[in-house]
A and B are shown apart, each in its own frame.
Chain A
Amino acid sequence: MGEVRSEMAESKKVIVKVKRQASPRDASRWEEFALPWRASMNVIICLRDIAENPVTREGKQTTPVSYDSNCLEEVCGSCAMLINGKARMACSALVDQLGQPIRIEPLSKFPVVRDLTVDRQFMFESLKRVKAWIPIDGTYNLGEGPRIAPEVQEKAYPLSRCITCGNCLEVCPQVNEHNNFMGAAIFSQVRLFNMHPTGAMHAKERIQAVMGHGGIEDCANAQNCVKACPKEIPLTESLAEINRQAWKQALFGWLVG
């Protein structure tokens, strides 16, 4: 009896469909794999299984799937992809909680490099555009930083946990080929730096950078971003706050100089 059961457990399969694309110039196609099920499998383990034995369900030899991953604990932001149509991190996508066949695709709002690997450089360029940093005078010893009230820290800390995964851009209708909308993550970073006592000294520059093409006024308030964020960052609050700061600067900026 015990033997029969273990045999059944062994023969249990996980069916995975992966959208493949050999390079940016090639067309995409789907491949299906049947992998041996194990307890606490995630999508990364599925992709590793395929890499070790790259043979499709029909028995055709193929290549390992190209994908980005690093920390495998949802803090580096690498392994964002579409899993059963949803933008999420592959490491925390547990197989037993997913409907089968599991459909895995690259994020659609970023250029595909190969298979599930996409180029998210746009986000890092946006961080440059909005000056997402505290402009310190230098790394030499200048004593302690400004005091910060615990309430302020508790509001700022969740914003500083953004992993630049791109899921909020993926689900945003305003991020499309006709628009350069920077996406919720970037505005939330502007809010973070504008909250910091030193960062606030340069808030205007950042707000200036979020006005205009691809800036805050392109937000259409679909509110998909906040639901897609793996770190549960209050992105819609950030968008509202930056919108308010931008309006204030647009209306009264010339008054206060």
Chain B
Amino acid sequence: MREPKIIIVGGGLAGLMATIRVAEAGVPVELFSIVPVKRSHSVCAQGGINAAKNQKGEGDTTQKHFDDTIYGGDFLANQPLVKRMCEAAPGIIDLLDRMGVMFNRTPEGLLDYRRFGGTLYHRTAFAGATTGQQLLYALDEQARRHESEGRVAKREGWTFLSAVIDETGVGRGICAMDLRSMEVKTFPADAVIFCTGGIGAIFGRSTNSVVCTGSAQSALFQQGVDYANGEFIQVHPTAIPGEDKLRLMSESARGEGGRVWVPRNPADKRAAKSIPEAERFYFLEEWYPKYGNLVPRDIATRAIHRIVYQEKLGIGGQAAVYLDVTHIPRETLDRKLEGILEIYEKFLGVDPREEPMKVFPAMHYTMGGLWVNGEDQATNVPGVYAAGECEYQYHGANRLGANSLVSCIFGGGIAGPAAVKYARGLEKGAEAVDASVFGREQKRQEEMNQTLISQQGSENPITIWRELGEVMTEHVTVTRINKNLERAKVKLKDLQVRYRKINLSDRTRWSNQTLNFARELGNMLILARVITVGALCRNESRGAHYKPEFPERDDSNWLKTTRAKWVNDEIQLTYEPVDISQIPPRSRRYDAAK
């Protein structure tokens, strides 16, 4: 029997889980990552990971987790796979526990659980407030073990440029670039799993890491891999504004009892702590008595925008509200939230244990992503799989907090064996594909580099990127108005024209970060349009997608998945029905119990 070979692109939680599963099956894996995998963006996840273990005796079940996830996602997610994920979640926690993740413990030595948004149960396991880091490290360690035993070969410091797709439309490997030597090379594989994460850079500043550009997803889209529900972008309610990054302040701060408020009088000049209770407006608690500060993120974000922009109640007239944990004992804060409080302290020089934090919403997550089937993470191109944030499957129109880590590990965990099964079932593997297929793709990519390096243009790529971020943040995040979306669409076209005239300030052939960024920027501009056009067409409000002109969810017209295709170098939107076979849609409101 021929020995198959699998490539995995991206070494965050999903990519590492897929890697481990493929290695366990005895199939060699080549793992590509821009950064050393231990530095992937999964490290930024803070608050925890959901699993209905019912460890607090509240009567929680995986069925309730499933219902919360579907309801929180405003019924846009295909239900069967979400159900499977929620059922698998307790086993995932057990696995991570066995891998040595230092989860917080109860006095009995069991895992501790806390509350998170969009649920009334203590369902979130956590390791301080650096859960993503701890989970990533656990998987990184297992992958390193497989690496030292020869089953995994890492290619860190390589960036994915394109898939190699043969004349029959089957994925046969990838084309990638070494970020040091800038060498462009193709790598044959029987199947490739993409775990390339988020797209924050399209919005300029976000809570995402630098590598989260969506470039890989966009490149694949332009090669015929469909992209679904792109318009669903999660804006996290609580982040610290910054010029380089909007730093997340985890939902766990509210899960542990943190409260969001503003002074009732915006002209109130007193220090936050000296404002008496009666003169504080705890607007989430007042507007949503049942869930209070733990409403889902889309709801909390819109409430903060309403407070700041309509009610004009932002602190001192600014775009900020208080996130207050000062009433929680210092010992509890240090044991459960230290990681995030330390970030606030380091970057702002203020101790949040003493002073309420000033926060504002920030682009955080994409619910949309590469289209995959409802079975095994396969895209519409044979041999191409996707898992983690880069695909669209699990979160519908809004993701619940602490569900991303579980979806990454679950998705990666099924993509790995699925790719192995597919590869083993192939009559002819990548080795039988004509060398010219690889040669052609390599040449195409080398020519793109050559054009960028040699052209004498007038446009600065960083300036274009800044304008891209501004237009996307202003018009394609929290509140969407059709005439503004039209304007954004025109602006994106204009930026694309200007992109063709960019001028690189570095034309060298060694570790040229400017060239790499220019490549990513070209891809970002296309994916930005997918998001914008999807938002423009969807005339309803659902989850994170909110249009004041169409304030209600419209199931009769819009209970459907947006599926974008790239046809003749243009975006074409198609729609397909949502699988609602398990839970019939009902109206979504968080001011009362479901």
* A residues in contact (CB < 8 Å) with B: 22-23, 38, 40-42, 44-45, 48, 51-52, 54, 61, 63-64, 66, 68-78, 91-92, 94, 113-114, 117, 120, 124, 127-128, 131-136, 138-139, 141-145, 147-150, 153-154, 156-157, 160-161, 163-164, 193, 196, 198-199
CA distance A144 to B128 in the complex (A): 20
Is A45 touching B44 in the complex (CB atoms < 8 A)? no
Is B343 touching A51 in the complex (CB atoms < 8 A)? no
Q: CB within 8 A of B91: which of A61, A133, A141?
A: A141
CB distance from B343 to the nearest CB of A (A): 5
Q: CB within 8 A of A70: which of B94, B141, B210, B339?
A: B210
B211 within 8 A of A: yes
B-side contacts of A120, CB under 8 Å: 36
Is A22 touching B210 in the complex (CB atoms < 8 A)? no
From A46, which residue of chain B is reached at the shortest CB distance?
Answer: B244
From A114, which residue of chain B is reached at the shortest CB distance?
Answer: B511
Among B103-111, B260-268, B356-364, B378-386, the stretch in contact with A: B103-111
Give the most central of A52, A69, A145: most B CB within 10 Å. Answer: A145
Is A134 touching B98 in the complex (CB atoms < 8 A)? yes
Among B71-79, B144-152, B269-277, B418-426, the stretch in contact with A: B144-152
A-B interface contact total, Cβ < 8 Å? 185
Is A64 touching B38 in the complex (CB atoms < 8 A)? no
CB distance from A185 to the nearest CB of B (A): 12
Is B38 touching A124 in the complex (CB atoms < 8 A)? yes
Q: Given A114-B180, A117-B511, A134-B138, list of 4 further CB < 8 A pairs?
A: A70-B41, A73-B347, A153-B103, A161-B133
B142 within 8 A of A: yes
CA distance A38 to B242 in the complex (A): 11
A-side contacts of B247, CB under 8 Å: 72-73
B-side contacts of A144, CB under 8 Å: 94, 97-98
Q: CB within 8 A of A52: which of B24, B133, B463?
A: B463
A45 and B243 contact, Cβ closer than 8 Å, known pairs A54-B505, A70-B35, A199-B100: yes
Is A64 touching B39 in the complex (CB atoms < 8 A)? no
Is A40 touching B24 in the complex (CB atoms < 8 A)? no
B437 within 8 A of A: no
Is A150 touching B39 in the complex (CB atoms < 8 A)? no
Is A136 touching B510 in the complex (CB atoms < 8 A)? no
CA distance A48 to B205 in the complex (A): 13
Is B242 touching A70 in the complex (CB atoms < 8 A)? no
* B residues in contact (CB < 8 Å) with A: 20-21, 24, 35-36, 38-41, 43-44, 91, 94-95, 97-100, 102-110, 127-128, 130, 133-134, 137-138, 141-142, 144-145, 147-148, 180, 209-211, 242-245, 247-248, 335, 339, 343, 346-349, 413, 460, 462-463, 505-506, 508, 510-514
Is B98 touching A127 in the complex (CB atoms < 8 A)? no
Is A78 touching B39 in the complex (CB atoms < 8 A)? yes
From B142, which residue of chain A is reached at the shortest CB distance?
Answer: A133
A-side contacts of B95, CB under 8 Å: 136, 139, 141
B-side contacts of A148, CB under 8 Å: 102, 105, 109
Q: CB within 8 A of B510: which of A42, A94, A114, A142?
A: A114
A153 and B105 contact, Cβ closer than 8 Å, known pairs A69-B210, A113-B180, A141-B91: yes
Is B100 touching A198 in the complex (CB atoms < 8 A)? yes
A23 and B510 contact, Cβ closer than 8 Å, known pairs A70-B209, A73-B44: yes
B-side contacts of A143, CB under 8 Å: 94
5 closest A-B pairs by CB: A147-B109, A145-B97, A133-B141, A114-B511, A134-B100
Give the most central of A73, A74, A148: most B CB within 10 Å. Answer: A73
CA distance A145 to B211 in the complex (A): 33
A64 and B505 contact, Cβ closer than 8 Å, known pairs A70-B39, A138-B24, A150-B106: yes
Is B209 touching A41 in the complex (CB atoms < 8 A)? no
A and B contact pairs by CB, cutoff 8 A, 22 listed? A52-B460, A52-B462, A52-B463, A63-B508, A64-B514, A70-B41, A71-B210, A74-B343, A75-B43, A75-B133, A92-B347, A133-B100, A133-B144, A134-B98, A134-B138, A139-B142, A142-B98, A147-B109, A153-B104, A156-B102, A157-B127, A160-B134
From B91, which residue of chain A is reached at the shortest CB distance?
Answer: A141
Is A161 touching B130 in the complex (CB atoms < 8 A)? yes
A76 and B209 contact, Cβ closer than 8 Å, known pairs A22-B508, A144-B94: yes
Is B506 touching A64 in the complex (CB atoms < 8 A)? yes
CA distance A109 to B103 in the complex (A): 34
From B507, which residue of chain A is reached at the shortest CB distance?
Answer: A63
CB distance from B16 to the nearest CB of A (A): 11
Q: CB within 8 A of A74: which of B107, B346, B514?
A: B346
A51 and B462 contact, Cβ closer than 8 Å, known pairs A40-B243, A69-B210: yes
CA distance A135 to B138 in the complex (A): 11
CA distance A164 to B37 in the complex (A): 12
CB distance from A182 to the nearest CB of B (A): 15
B-side contacts of A94, CB under 8 Å: 347, 349
Q: CB within 8 A of B210: which of A72, A124, A134?
A: A72
CB distance from B95 to the nearest CB of A (A): 6
CB distance from A81 to the nearest CB of B (A): 15
CA distance A113 to B39 in the complex (A): 18
Is B41 touching A136 in the complex (CB atoms < 8 A)? no
A-side contacts of B243, CB under 8 Å: 38, 40-41, 45
CB distance from A118 to the nearest CB of B (A): 11
CA distance A128 to B38 in the complex (A): 13
A-side contacts of B512, CB under 8 Å: 66
B-side contacts of A117, CB under 8 Å: 511
Give the most central of B21, B243, B339, B343: most A CB within 10 Å. Answer: B243
CA distance A199 to B335 in the complex (A): 24
CA distance A148 to B112 in the complex (A): 11
Is A70 touching B211 in the complex (CB atoms < 8 A)? yes
CA distance A23 to B512 in the complex (A): 11
CA distance A161 to B129 in the complex (A): 11
Is B346 touching A71 in the complex (CB atoms < 8 A)? no
A-side contacts of B130, CB under 8 Å: 75, 161
Is A113 touching B511 in the complex (CB atoms < 8 A)? yes
Q: CB within 8 A of A75: which of B44, B148, B211, B508?
A: B44
From A159, which residue of chain B is reached at the shortest CB distance?
Answer: B102
Is B346 touching A40 in the complex (CB atoms < 8 A)? no
A134 and B242 contact, Cβ closer than 8 Å, known pairs A71-B41, A149-B109: no
A-side contacts of B349, CB under 8 Å: 94
CB distance from B129 to the nearest CB of A (A): 10
Give the most central of A23, A128, A156, A161: most B CB within 10 Å. Answer: A161
From A52, which residue of chain B is reached at the shortest CB distance?
Answer: B462
From B37, which residue of chain A is reached at the shortest CB distance?
Answer: A124
From A197, which residue of chain B is reached at the shortest CB distance?
Answer: B100
CA distance A63 to B36 in the complex (A): 25
Q: CB within 8 A of B36: which of A74, A124, A128, A133?
A: A124
CA distance A148 to B210 in the complex (A): 36
CA distance A198 to B142 in the complex (A): 14
From B180, which residue of chain A is reached at the shortest CB distance?
Answer: A113
Is B142 touching A136 in the complex (CB atoms < 8 A)? yes
A-side contacts of B335, CB under 8 Å: 154
B-side contacts of A77, CB under 8 Å: 38-39
CB distance from B40 to the nearest CB of A (A): 8
CB distance from A154 to the nearest CB of B (A): 7
CB distance from A128 to the nearest CB of B (A): 5
A193 and B100 contact, Cβ closer than 8 Å, known pairs A70-B210, A72-B209, A114-B511: yes
Is B35 touching A150 in the complex (CB atoms < 8 A)? no
CB distance from B486 to the nearest CB of A (A): 29
Is A76 touching B43 in the complex (CB atoms < 8 A)? yes
